[in-house]
């Protein structure tokens, strides 16, 4: 028995010893001895594949074509150019250190060396293909399979590396083991999963603030918050990303429904402890077994530590109980629509749980601050719709929760957020929510969304909102609206972006002269690839949406309005959370025109991103109109860009007046910055604004820290609309980043954010 235990100890020690690697090296860009920004850390989650995977390197940003320098002497063993964008191009160098081989891979870079060539530290070996190098470090003395290491590890990797930023725990939640069923924090029981969202900060820029952490864990404390009741192995540390587990365990390590490339959410109860996970590279299902402890009050301590010892921790009081603590499923919103003047109706589908007591309805006028309107005493279990008065013109946003009849009521997760804008004078359009996809292979991870707000805050007309299934069953008729806005978002398999009934309703609407604005990143691809009958979906794409599918990944988040279109010269970005996008959009479709449509946007000179069309559909005698974007409208982060695009589309449709050059805004009503173009900018900046008293108008530019960096002359402005150009030379002293343009007048102060790129 003693020999057996000794063998286990030796095997464990050898496994752990094999992980260690103290080789240090400089940074791959000049100057090599200066620390660089880090925008992606080792071991964090990646949702760019169907099942998700680990990020196996460290991302160091640099502009395209920046020389990449070898950080160690060695010999080139791979020099691969993909012949396309360079995204999959890389150089791998083998170095000999102390008689052992160490590999480093410089991924996303175009080779400037050949296989077999000897290179020295500081020699250029490649150039950045797009915007960063993904450096992969392999354990010395090992191959390249399952031996990747963290290049920000405490005892090796990049030097110098000083980290003054601590990781942050954003939220903690409790679920029934191996499920997505939430438990109330005040009452947990049974086998419990503890889910933790951590953001690691590796720099001062926003792109460096949503990385994955180095170490994360938990302990169970007594009600006094100091006595340790349960201390998991390794003093509570569950994962330490010196190395990474094998990819097949990524969704045991992470909570997949809420994890994405920009959001890293850990299941800290899975696995058998950081040391065991590191040595075995296996993460097994596990849980906190609440019934092992007497009912009563406890505290869950969750902690996270970065590779330089910065840490964050939170204490969450809980009560272990054997009472029902499983909440019902969420209600599903069907629609919110205007009923009569100043009244609207909200309708929902109840969850299937037998113990639902009722619902709690919350409302907001800004989409941020929600207030409860009614609870389960009014909205009882058998109520599925309600009518309310809202004598106001701004949009109103609503969400709903289900509540059960347990002794301590359990509350469901929220529904989607829908909205309504009532007006007796403005036209009214319909916004259709066709975005069901989340979690598995999707860019959006949560079971609910509030994307309607991205539409509502820039719609200058009245609007109703409906779930797409209520179009199919004729509960909401498209023909009752002069224009329909269809949000397909990132929807795709297995949900079918547009099913056969929805295609039929859209076809009939367009045949009868309807005006449709539809946007979605996977729409064309999903129609073509999920085709269930020969040519049906492809024909709908060509005949109704006036487009053809070209490719399912444009590898771009920037589009430019085409000449002769109503968006001529306008530059728009999307899918960038740093600009306010709700999710990363990593694979928008490339489309081509069909049936007489024209290009509205392109990603590049050849790749189509959006089309527009006026004319008949299916040989109808009535003319209709269409705008189709192959990227999601709600993923456009900057409100000013969404506003400009929405006004352009509604003006094209004739829904709003074109009497004002700015699509219906009357210049004498307010002083305001209307747009900043291009945005982001690498050169001249054109600021469009309106003012009533030009002699009292001044334009200033401020940095994100509030420092004034530019001031415009007060002469030359007129009453009404103005265009003011700030030359690139006037801004040469400014670095890349977010800035604020401020219009100051005697009446008001108006501001807009914009970005400068270097």
3-class SS at 728?
helix
> Which residues, including other chains, have CB under 8 Å from residue 182's CB and lie 6 or more apart?
173, 174, 175, 176, 327, 413
| C-beta separation of 412 from 183 below 8 A | no
Can 2-158 and 667-756 be said to share one CATH topology? no
Does CATH place domain 328-417 in 2.60.40.10? yes
Q: Which of 20-34, 107-121, 571-585 has the lowest mean pLDDT?
A: 571-585
Q: Look at residue 8 in the predicted model and tell me its pLDDT.
A: 37
Of the chain, the percentage scoring pLDDT greater than 90 comes to 66
Instruction: Kindly tell me the number of DSSP H helices and DSSP E strands found in the chain.
Output: 9, 49
State both tokens at 242.
């010196």
Superfamily name with CATH number, domain 667-756 = Macroglobulin (MG2) domain (2.60.40.1930)
CA distance 574 to 576: 6
Residue-wise pLDDT for 671-698, tens only, equals 777 778 777 777 788 888 888 777 677 8
Comparison of pLDDT for 514 and 186, the residue scoring more: 514
In which region does residue 637 sit, left (phi positive, over 0), alpha (psi from -120 to 50) or beta (all else)?
alpha
Task: Return the CATH number of the domain spanning residue range 168-320.
Answer: 2.60.40
User: Of all helices (H) and strands (E), which one includes residue 157?
Assistant: strand 157-158
> Using 50, 70 and 90 to split pLDDT, how confident is the model at 737?
confident
CA distance 758 to 681: 9
Distance of CA 167 to the CA centre of its chain: 20
User: Of all helices (H) and strands (E), which one includes residue 708?
Assistant: strand 708-711
Task: Return the CATH number of the domain spanning residue range 426-653.
Answer: 3.40.50.880
CA distance 440 to 180: 13
Distance of CA 277 to the CA centre of its chain: 29
Cis before 160? omega within 30: yes
Kind of pairing, strands 623-629 and 708-711? unpaired
Distances 71 to 123, 243, 327, 384 between C-alpha atoms, Å: 8, 20, 54, 64
Site of tokens 């150019």: 81
In terms of residues, how long is the chain?
Answer: 758
CA distance 712 to 380: 59
| C-beta separation of 74 from 132 below 8 A | no
Q: Which residues of 193-203 are buried (b: 16+ CB within 10 A; e: fewer)?
A: bbbbbbbbbbb
**pTM for the whole structure:** 0.60
State both tokens at 407.
């002794």
| C-beta separation of 50 from 441 below 8 A | yes
Residue-wise pLDDT for 329-378, tens only, equals 999 999 999 998 889 999 999 999 999 999 999 999 989 999 999 999 99
CA distance 663 to 38: 42
One DSSP character per residue, 338-364 reads: E-STTEEEEEEEPPS-TTEEEEEEEEE
Domains of the chain, residue spans? 2-158, 168-320, 328-417, 426-653, 667-756
Residue-wise pLDDT for 601-625, tens only, equals 999 878 999 999 999 999 999 999 9
CA distance 597 to 619: 15
Q: Which residues of 510-522 are buried (b: 16+ CB within 10 A; e: fewer)?
A: bbebbbbbbbbbb
Q: What count of other Cβ atoms lies within 10 Å of the Cβ of residue 719? A: 14
- What does R_g of the chain's alpha carbons equal in angstroms? 28
Q: Look at residue 670 in the predicted model and tell me its pLDDT.
A: 59
Q: What is the maximum span of the chain, computed from C-alpha positions, in angstroms?
A: 93
CA distance 207 to 37: 9
Residue-wise pLDDT for 441-469, tens only, equals 677 878 899 999 999 999 999 999 999 99
Q: Look at residue 662 in the predicted model and tell me its pLDDT.
A: 37
Task: Return the CATH number of the domain spanning residue range 2-158.
Answer: 2.70.70.10
């Amino acid at each position: 028995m003693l020999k057996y235990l000794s063998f286990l100890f030796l095997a464990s020690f050898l496994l752990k010893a094999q992980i260690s690697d103290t080789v240090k090296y400089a940074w791959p860009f000049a100057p090599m001895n200066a620390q660089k920004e880090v925008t992606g850390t080792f071991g964090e989650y990646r949702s760019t594949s169907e099942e998700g995977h680990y990020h196996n390197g460290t991302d160091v940003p640099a502009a395209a074509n920046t020389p990449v320098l070898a950080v160690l002497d060695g010999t080139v063993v791979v020099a691969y150019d993909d012949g396309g964008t360079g995204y999959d191009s890389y150089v791998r160098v083998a170095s000999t250190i102390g008689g052992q081989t160490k590999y480093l891979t410089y991924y996303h870079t175009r080779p400037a060396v050949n296989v077999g060539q000897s290179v020295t530290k500081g020699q250029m070996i490649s150039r950045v293909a797009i915007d960063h190098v993904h450096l992969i470090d392999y354990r010395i003395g090992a191959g390249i399979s399952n031996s990747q290491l963290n290049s920000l590890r405490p005892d090796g990797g990049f030097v110098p590396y000083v980290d003054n930023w601590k990781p942050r725990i954003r939220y903690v939640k409790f679920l029934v083991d191996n499920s997505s069923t939430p438990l109330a924090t005040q009452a947990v029981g049974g086998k419990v999963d503890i889910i933790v969202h951590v953001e690691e900060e590796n720099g001062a820029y926003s792109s460096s603030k949503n990385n994955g952490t180095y170490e994360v864990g938990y302990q169970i404390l007594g009600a006094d918050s100091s006595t340790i009741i349960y201390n998991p192995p390794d003093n509570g540390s569950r994962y330490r990303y010196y190395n990474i587990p094998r990819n097949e365990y990524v969704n045991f390590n992470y909570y997949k429904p809420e994890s994405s490339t920009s959001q890293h959410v850990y299941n800290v109860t899975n696995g058998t402890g950081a040391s065991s996970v590191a040595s075995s590279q296996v993460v097994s299902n596990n849980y906190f077994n609440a019934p092992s402890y007497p009912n009563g009050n406890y505290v869950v301590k969750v902690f996270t530590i970065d590779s330089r010892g910065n840490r964050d921790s939170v204490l969450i009081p809980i009560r272990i109980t054997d009472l029902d603590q499983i909440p019902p499923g969420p209600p599903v919103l069907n629609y919110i629509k205007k009923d009569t003047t100043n009244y609207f109706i909200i309708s929902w589908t109840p969850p299937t749980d037998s113990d639902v007591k009722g619902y709690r309805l919350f409302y907001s006028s800004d989409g941020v601050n929600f207030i409860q309107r009614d609870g389960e005493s009014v909205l009882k279990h058998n109520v599925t719709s309600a009518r309310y008065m809202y004598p106001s013109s701004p949009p109103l946003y609503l969400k709903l929760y289900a509540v059960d009849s347990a002794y301590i009521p359990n509350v469901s997760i929220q529904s989607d957020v829908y909205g309504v804008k009532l007006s007796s004078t403005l036209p009214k359009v319909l916004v259709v929510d066709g975005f069901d996809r989340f979690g598995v292979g999707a860019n959006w991870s949560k079971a609910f969304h509030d994307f309607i707000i991205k539409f509502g805050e820039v719609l200058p007309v009245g609007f109703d909102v409906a779930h797409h299934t209520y179009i199919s069953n004729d509960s909401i008729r498209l023909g009752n609206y002069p224009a329909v806005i269809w949000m397909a978002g990132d929807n795709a398999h297995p949900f079918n972006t547009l099913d056969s009934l929805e295609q039929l309703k859209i076809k009939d609407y367009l045949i009868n002269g309807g005006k449709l604005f539809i946007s979605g990143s996977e729409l064309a691809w999903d129609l073509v690839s999920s085709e269930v009958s020969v040519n049906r979906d492809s024909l709908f794409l060509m005949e109704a949406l006036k487009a053809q599918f070209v490719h399912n990944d444009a590898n771009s988040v920037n589009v430019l309005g085409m000449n002769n279109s109503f968006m001529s010269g306008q530059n728009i970005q999307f899918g960038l959370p740093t600009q306010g996008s709700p999710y990363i959009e990593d694979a928008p479709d490339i489309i081509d025109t069909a049936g007489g449509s024209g290009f509205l946007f392109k990603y590049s000179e050849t790749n189509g991103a959006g089309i527009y069309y006026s004319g008949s559909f299916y040989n109808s005698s009535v003319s209709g109109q269409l705008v189709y974007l192959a990227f999601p409208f709600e993923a456009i982060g900057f409100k000013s860009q969404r506003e400009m695009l929405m006004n352009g589309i509604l003006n094209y449709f004739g829904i709003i007046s074109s009497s004002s050059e700015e699509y219906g805004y009357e210049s004498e009503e307010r002083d305001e910055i209307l747009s900043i173009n291009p945005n982001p900018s690498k050169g001249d900046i054109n600021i469009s604004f309106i003012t009533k008293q030009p002699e009292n108008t001044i334009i200033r530019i401020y940095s994100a820290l509030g420092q004034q960096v530019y001031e415009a002359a007060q002469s030359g402005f007129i009453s009404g609309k103005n265009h003011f150009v700030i030359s690139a030379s006037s801004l040469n002293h400014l670095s890349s980043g977010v800035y604020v343009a401020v219009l100051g007048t005697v009446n008001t102060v108006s501001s807009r954010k914009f970005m400068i790129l270097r």
